[in-house]
A = this chain, B = another copy of it.
Amino acid sequence: MSLPPKLDPPTRTLLGPGPSPVSSRVLKALSLPVVGHLDPEFLKIMDQSMAMLREVFQTKNRLALPMSGTGSAGMETCFVNVIEPGDSVLIGVNGVFGTRMVDVAERCGAQVDAVQAEWGSALDPQQFRAALAKKKYKLTAVVHAETSTGVLQPLDEIARLVHENGSLLLVDSVTSLGGAPVRVDELGIDICYSGTQKCLGCPPGLSPVTFNERAIEVIHNRKRKVQSWYLDLSMIEKYWGSERIYHHTAPISLNYALHEALRIVLEEGLEASWQRHRQVHETFVREMHKLELEPAVAESIRAPMINTVKIPERVDDAKVRQRLYDEFNIEIGAGLGPLKGKVWRVGLMGHGSRVENVELLAKALKQLI
A residues at B contact (CB < 8 Å): 1, 3-4, 6-12, 14, 16, 18-19, 21-22, 27-37, 39-42, 45, 48, 51-52, 55, 68-73, 75-76, 80, 100, 103-104, 106-108, 195, 197, 203-205, 225-231, 246-254, 256-257, 259-260, 263, 266-267, 325, 331, 336
Please tell me if the beta carbons of A19 and B45 are within 8 angstroms of each other in the complex: no
A105 (CB) vs chain B CBs: closest residue: B229
Please tell me if the beta carbons of B256 and A253 are within 8 angstroms of each other in the complex: no
Please tell me if the beta carbons of B14 and A35 are within 8 angstroms of each other in the complex: yes
Please tell me if the beta carbons of A10 and B31 are within 8 angstroms of each other in the complex: no
CB distance from A360 to the nearest CB of B (A): 16
In the complex, chain B residues whose CB is within 8 Å of the CB of A68: 69-70, 73, 205
Please tell me if the beta carbons of B30 and A12 are within 8 angstroms of each other in the complex: no
In the complex, chain B residues whose CB is within 8 Å of the CB of A12: 33, 35-36, 39
Please tell me if the beta carbons of A35 and B9 are within 8 angstroms of each other in the complex: yes
Contacts A/B (CB < 8 Å), 25 sampled: A4-B51, A4-B52, A9-B39, A9-B42, A10-B33, A11-B33, A14-B34, A14-B36, A19-B35, A19-B36, A19-B252, A27-B32, A27-B33, A34-B203, A39-B325, A68-B70, A68-B205, A71-B249, A72-B248, A100-B229, A107-B225, A204-B250, A205-B205, A253-B254, A253-B257
- Contact with A249, one of B18, B225, B229 (Cβ below 8 angstroms): B18
A44 (CB) vs chain B CBs: closest residue: B4
Q: What are the 7 tightest A-B residue pairs by CB atom distance, in nearest-first order? A: A205-B251, A4-B48, A31-B31, A72-B248, A203-B253, A27-B31, A204-B249
Please tell me if the beta carbons of A35 and B7 are within 8 angstroms of each other in the complex: no
A29 (CB) vs chain B CBs: closest residue: B7
CB distance from A160 to the nearest CB of B (A): 29
In the complex, A176→B16 CA distance in Å? 39
In the complex, A130→B23 CA distance in Å? 59
A248 (CB) vs chain B CBs: closest residue: B72
A266 (CB) vs chain B CBs: closest residue: B3
In the complex, chain B residues whose CB is within 8 Å of the CB of A70: 68, 248-251
In the complex, A254→B16 CA distance in Å? 20
Q: A36 and B331 in contact (CB under 8 A), knowing A41-B10, A68-B205?
A: yes
CB distance from A30 to the nearest CB of B (A): 4
In the complex, chain B residues whose CB is within 8 Å of the CB of A3: 52, 263, 266-267
Please tell me if the beta carbons of A21 and B34 are within 8 angstroms of each other in the complex: yes
In the complex, chain B residues whose CB is within 8 Å of the CB of A108: 227
